[in-house]
Chain A
Amino acid sequence: MGKEMVNPRSAYGETLIELGKKHPNLVVLDADLSKSTKTILFAKKYPERFFEMGIAEANMISTAAGLASCGKIPFVSTFAVFATGRVYDQIRMDVAYSNANVKIFATHGGISVGKDGASHQMTEDLALMRVLPNMTVFAPSDATQTRRIVELMATNKGPMYARIGRASTPLIYKKEELKDISIGKGMITKDGEDVSFIACGTMVDHVLDARKILSKEGINARVIDMHTIKPIDKKLVLKCAKETNAILTAEEHSIIGGLGGAVSEILAEEGLPCRFRRMGVKDIFCESGEPADLFEKYGLNAKHIAKVANELIR
């Protein structure tokens, strides 16, 4: 049975158009990547509210802050590498420190970028953004959730960062399943009592597959979709720790500083007797390749996740 695949980037572009209709002060900026980030959809519909900034990301971020100071809701898009690391100082000063209403929406996050290699596979962005005061950080897991997160970004004030991947991903949710989605509240996508997977972004689908593998072995895994990395849903993490006694985090990101980092901080401070593993990129730069081959090599596909979960609870 094949999964229905939808590209979250298209979902982003389409949602911008819907929001553009509702919010006349919503504007979009891109740095010569509008065809890839899909902001081009908005640009075609609302050319007077789309600003091409050229390959000049630093200027783009600070310009967005200037726009926000005049009451605009700027959505800024480019690849996750260029949207965060390249412009960290601009985000720190003009967006976070100034608590500006700037929405940074990055595509091409994580290793599923594939063949372009580590120069374009951003695996540190969640950490970089999470450490900034005032910043809210999202990593939506499918196209449906992407739509809802973009809506939340447009309708809630403050600096926000979201990242999605490049590739089409399986549809996990129907629209009505996400009507109660809110910032900072993780979702119990599948319940279970033997182990909790806490995942974000594309890894939610991988842990759902791992859950199927485990169920054949009689293990009932819980799947948490932690779409908001900051503020992290501490209550839900502690609930999982108490109820399943084992947590495994999964992200297309370094195991340092991102979702795994955030969860481990909570567990360490609470001192709960909970077995714990972080799955993600293990403090290395990855390489070019087909996404599936990379997930295999770096131990991030369902088979590996299931194996690690099995070892963790044994």
Chain B
Amino acid sequence: MILKPYDDEVIKKLNVTAVKIRKHVIEMLYRAKSGHPGGSLSAVDAIVALYFHHMRHNPKKPEDPNRDRFILSKGHAAPTLYAVLAECGYFDVKELKGLREVNCMLQGHPVSLYVPGVEASTGSLGHGLSFANGVALAGKADDKKYNVYVMLGDGETDEGQIWEAAAVASHYKFDNLTALLDRNFLQIDGNTEDVLRLESVRDRWSSFGWHVIEIDGHDIGQIIDALLKADEHKNQPSMIILNTVKGKGVSFMENNVDFHGVPPNEMEYKLAMREFDVLQRRLEAS
């Protein structure tokens, strides 16, 4: 039995933060007139739980060798990572305005060289889990206590490299490694089960020797509990299957594959912001 290191007030605060991040994401994409709303929004709650509650990290010391690491393998959700890093204090929130613009720091997909807090350059799918393996391996070799977390898209696991990495992680018993699968069931060409069947996702990862946990990927309490369980689990890497909704938080984007890589127009932007405002007021009043 794991004691809950949080109460309703903590969860409420994190949920409010998640709305704030979603607002940033929509604003950034509207301004940039390009980018990926669907997969950015589905990833928000887990990344918020990691950075604002679970991970040991210090924005003032982004190079701290003992920090927990988060790697966004599904690099097209960059706006979410950037908004979270900025709100944590890794860089000025004003930078978010420059997403995808020339002479600005925030590239369309994350680059570790330019952005404080970004651990790995991603955007070409399938690399992040392998990179995380390297971080986990270094941690084991040096007897460090840090954990490494990596978020994969569900469509991303079509890539063969993911399964190379999955095999290596379990072979080396990387119990300092936790993967989170953003299971929103949609990829560019349609439903993941129509494009290239993934089910049973749970069985696949189990058969590769992973400890698998499946939760509601938008329930912050469940996310924190799952992260704690994953951290405590020994001798196996953990996979947290986050059952999510693509476009989560914006009614007309939810489960709508058209918003994979298309930003909101002016009307959609205003509607989305109004929905977030309503949600925020409701959360704050609860």
Bound pair (A, B): yes
A residues within 8 Å of B by Cβ?
27, 48-49, 51, 53-54, 56, 58-72, 74, 89-90, 92-94, 97-99
Chain B interface main SS type:
helix
**Nearest CB on A from B167, distance (A):** 7
Verify B164–A67 contact, CB threshold 8 A: no
**Nearest CB on B from A100, distance (A):** 8
**Nearest CB on A from B33, distance (A):** 24
**Interface CB pairs A-B, < 8 A, 21:** A58-B161, A59-B161, A59-B164, A59-B165, A62-B130, A63-B130, A63-B133, A63-B134, A65-B131, A66-B130, A66-B135, A67-B138, A70-B138, A70-B139, A89-B127, A94-B127, A94-B130, A94-B131, A98-B111, A98-B121, A99-B113
Q: Name which of B128, B137, B141, B142 has the most chain A CB atoms within 10 A of its CB.
A: B137
Verify B134–A67 contact, CB threshold 8 A: yes
Indicate if B206 sits at the interface (CB-CB under 8 A).
Answer: no
Given A56-B167, A94-B127, A66–B161 Cβ distance below 8 Å? no
How many inter-chain residue pairs (CB < 8 Å) link A and B?
A: 103
Q: Tell me how many residues of B have a C-beta within 8 Å of chain A.
A: 32
Verify A93–B134 contact, CB threshold 8 A: no
Q: Which residue of B has the minimal Cβ distance to A96?
A: B121
Instruction: Name the B residues within 8 Å of A48 (CB-CB).
Output: 141
Q: Which of A27, A58, A71 contacts B160, CB < 8 Å?
A: A58
Instruction: Name the A residues within 8 Å of B168 (CB-CB).
Output: 53-54, 56, 59, 63
Given A49-B141, A70-B65, A59–B120 Cβ distance below 8 Å? no
A49 CA to B137 CA, complexed, in Å: 10
Q: Which of B113, B121, B137, B165 contacts A67, CB < 8 Å?
A: B137
Q: Which residue of B has the minimal Cβ distance to A134?
A: B113
Indicate if B123 sits at the interface (CB-CB under 8 A).
Answer: yes
A72 CA to B122 CA, complexed, in Å: 20
Verify A93–B122 contact, CB threshold 8 A: yes
Q: Name which of A54, A65, A68, A99 has the most chain B CB atoms within 10 A of its CB.
A: A65
Q: Which residue of B has the minimal Cβ distance to A99?
A: B113
Indicate if B132 sits at the interface (CB-CB under 8 A).
Answer: yes
Verify A63–B131 contact, CB threshold 8 A: yes
Which 4 pairs from chain A and chain B are nearest by CB?
Answer: A66-B134, A62-B130, A70-B138, A56-B164
Verify B120–A98 contact, CB threshold 8 A: yes
B residues within 8 Å of A by Cβ?
65, 111-113, 119-124, 126-128, 130-139, 141-142, 160-161, 164-165, 167-168, 171
Q: Which of B112, B113, B122, B133 contacts A59, CB < 8 Å?
A: B133
A92 CA to B168 CA, complexed, in Å: 22
Verify A66–B137 contact, CB threshold 8 A: yes
Q: Which residue of B has the minimal Cβ distance to A27?
A: B141
Q: Which residue of B has the minimal Cβ distance to A55?
A: B164
Q: Which residue of A has the minimal Cβ distance to B126?
A: A58
A98 CA to B55 CA, complexed, in Å: 24
Verify B134–A64 contact, CB threshold 8 A: yes
Verify B134–A69 contact, CB threshold 8 A: yes
**Nearest CB on B from A15, distance (A):** 21
Verify A93–B138 contact, CB threshold 8 A: no
A94 CA to B122 CA, complexed, in Å: 8
A54 CA to B135 CA, complexed, in Å: 18
**Nearest CB on A from B137, distance (A):** 6
Q: Which of B112, B128, B136, B167 contacts A98, CB < 8 Å?
A: B112
A48 CA to B140 CA, complexed, in Å: 10
Verify B112–A66 contact, CB threshold 8 A: no
A192 CA to B14 CA, complexed, in Å: 74
Given A58-B164, A67-B137, A93–B112 Cβ distance below 8 Å? no
Instruction: Name the A residues within 8 Å of B121 (CB-CB).
Output: 93-94, 97-98
**Nearest CB on A from B159, distance (A):** 9
Instruction: Name the A residues within 8 Å of B119 (CB-CB).
Output: 69
A107 CA to B139 CA, complexed, in Å: 29
A68 CA to B132 CA, complexed, in Å: 11
Instruction: Name the B residues within 8 Å of A99 (CB-CB).
Output: 113
Q: Which residue of A has the minimal Cβ distance to B75?
A: A93
Instruction: Name the A residues within 8 Å of B65 (CB-CB).
Output: 70-71
Instruction: Name the A residues within 8 Å of B128 (CB-CB).
Output: 62
A90 CA to B133 CA, complexed, in Å: 14
Instruction: Name the B residues within 8 Å of A58 (CB-CB).
Output: 126, 130, 160-161, 164
Verify A66–B120 contact, CB threshold 8 A: yes
Given A27-B141, A54-B167, A65–B124 Cβ distance below 8 Å? no
Verify B141–A62 contact, CB threshold 8 A: no
Verify A70–B135 contact, CB threshold 8 A: yes
A71 CA to B135 CA, complexed, in Å: 10
Q: Which residue of A has the minimal Cβ distance to B112?
A: A98
Verify B111–A59 contact, CB threshold 8 A: no
A65 CA to B168 CA, complexed, in Å: 15
**Nearest CB on A from B109, distance (A):** 9
Verify A62–B131 contact, CB threshold 8 A: yes
A61 CA to B133 CA, complexed, in Å: 11
**Nearest CB on A from B106, distance (A):** 15
**Nearest CB on A from B169, distance (A):** 9
**Nearest CB on A from B55, distance (A):** 16
**Nearest CB on B from A55, distance (A):** 9
Q: Which residue of B has the minimal Cβ distance to A62?
A: B130
A64 CA to B133 CA, complexed, in Å: 9
A48 CA to B142 CA, complexed, in Å: 10
**Nearest CB on A from B37, distance (A):** 24
Instruction: Name the B residues within 8 Å of A65 (CB-CB).
Output: 120, 131, 134
Q: Which residue of B has the minimal Cβ distance to A31?
A: B164
